[in-house]
């Protein structure tokens, strides 16, 4: 079986992540990757559309794993062991966190790149850049967690957009150019319905004057990871400089309402 080396390395989180894996972890990851590729190739050769799981089938998997699905990706690697983390510098900046904790950050960089190309406001480009990085810490209700993480440092529209993109991604809006993503049949199950707090939030948002802010995050959210796209944070440095209030003491040391969250991301190996 032919292996696309680049895609394989990208699927593991990039060359640096691979360098940190021991031989056994690499072998496991390769085997896992080949199985997935083979399944996909067989299904494609047989002309079958991908079969998405049901909610019950997803629930069946819970006690087959030693990690819950909601664990942040800094805490639970789904490919081999977690890796040793480089210490953050004193007075850590947002850029330090992107480079040392959120990398490769492909998903948010690709989304923000698209937002830049489609002429979004700077508040929305920043929201796209930040919208999912809290997934490194925790996954359930990531819109609310993510907004809380960024709220002390970004414009109100940006944190509003981060908080509510989680709700709006479940509701299509063809006029705005957003369809329910196939990816969600895979992640949530084909017969999934959002819980009551999401439905109530959607009702509130429909009549909100800022409805379009989180909606534009969903429109620019990319559901298909493109391993060939080369994206960096460089094009966003000016926007970060203009709109992100970098604390001089460093993120995590500035005693803001979310400092503890930045510290936990900085030091996920702390035992208590």
Residues that bind Fe ion (CB under 5 A): 132, 221
Q: Minimum distance between the CB of residue 218 and Fe ion, rounded to whole angstroms?
A: 8
Identify which of residues 96 and 221 has a Cβ nearer to Fe ion in the complex. Answer: 221
Q: Minimum distance between the CB of residue 163 and Fe ion, rounded to whole angstroms?
A: 11
Identify which of residues 41 and 118 has a Cβ nearer to Fe ion in the complex. Answer: 118
Identify which of residues 11 and 220 has a Cβ nearer to Fe ion in the complex. Answer: 220
Q: Minimum distance between the CB of residue 102 and Fe ion, rounded to whole angstroms?
A: 13
Peptide bond into 116 cis (omega under 30): no
Six token digits for residue 177: 């150019």
Q: Minimum distance between the CB of residue 140 and Fe ion, rounded to whole angstroms?
A: 12
Query: The dihedral of CA 102, 104, 107, 113: what is its sign?
Result: positive
The DSSP line for the chain is: ----HHHHHHHTT-HHHHHTS-HHHHHHHHHHHHHHHHHHHHHHHTTPPP-PPPHHHHHHTGGG-SS-TTB-TTT--SSS-----PPPPTT--HHHHHHHTSTT-HHHHHHHHHHHHTT--HHHHHHHHHTTGGGGTB-TTHHHHHHHHHTTTS-HHHHHHHHHHHHHTTS-BTTTTB---HHHHHHH-TT----HHHHHHHHHHHT-TTTHHHHHHHHH---S--TT----SGGGHHHHHHH----TT-TTSS--TTHHHHHHHH-TT---
Q: Minimum distance between the CB of residue 108 and Fe ion, rounded to whole angstroms?
A: 7
Identify which of residues 147 and 240 has a Cβ nearer to Fe ion in the complex. Answer: 147
Q: Minimum distance between the CB of residue 36 and Fe ion, rounded to whole angstroms?
A: 21
Identify which of residues 20 and 104 has a Cβ nearer to Fe ion in the complex. Answer: 104
Identify which of residues 53 and 143 has a Cβ nearer to Fe ion in the complex. Answer: 143
Identify which of residues 210 and 225 has a Cβ nearer to Fe ion in the complex. Answer: 225
Q: Minimum distance between the CB of residue 118 and Fe ion, rounded to whole angstroms?
A: 15
């Amino acid at each position: 079986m032919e292996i696309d080396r680049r895609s394989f390395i990208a699927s593991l989180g990039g060359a640096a992540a691979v360098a940190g894996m021991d031989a056994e972890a690499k072998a496991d990851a390769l085997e896992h990757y080949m199985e997935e590729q083979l399944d996909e190739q067989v299904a494609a050769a047989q002309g079958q559309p991908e079969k998405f799981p049901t909610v019950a089938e997803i629930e069946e998997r819970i006690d087959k794993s030693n990690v819950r699905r909601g664990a942040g990706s800094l805490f639970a690697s789904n490919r081999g062991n977690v890796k040793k983390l480089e210490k953050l510098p004193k007075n850590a900046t947002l850029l330090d966190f992107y480079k040392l904790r959120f990398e490769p950050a492909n998903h948010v960089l690709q989304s923000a790149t698209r937002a830049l190309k489609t002429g979004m406001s700077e508040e929305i480009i920043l929201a796209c850049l930040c919208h999912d990085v809290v997934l490194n810490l925790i996954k359930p209700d990531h819109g609310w967690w993510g907004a809380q993480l960024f709220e002390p440092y970004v414009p109100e529209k940006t944190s509003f957009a981060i908080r509510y993109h989680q709700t709006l991604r479940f509701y299509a809006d063809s006029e705005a150019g957003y369809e329910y993503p196939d990816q969600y049949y895979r992640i949530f199950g084909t017969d999934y319905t959002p819980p009551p707090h999401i439905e109530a939030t959607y009702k509130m948002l429909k009549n909100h004057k800022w409805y379009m802010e989180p909606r534009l995050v969903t429109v620019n959210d990319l559901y298909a990871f493109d391993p060939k796209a080369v994206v960096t944070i460089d094009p966003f440095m000016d926007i970060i400089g203009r709109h992100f209030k970098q604390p001089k003491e460093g993120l995590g040391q500035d005693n803001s309402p979310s400092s503890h969250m930045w510290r936990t991301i900085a030091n996920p190996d702390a035992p208590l």
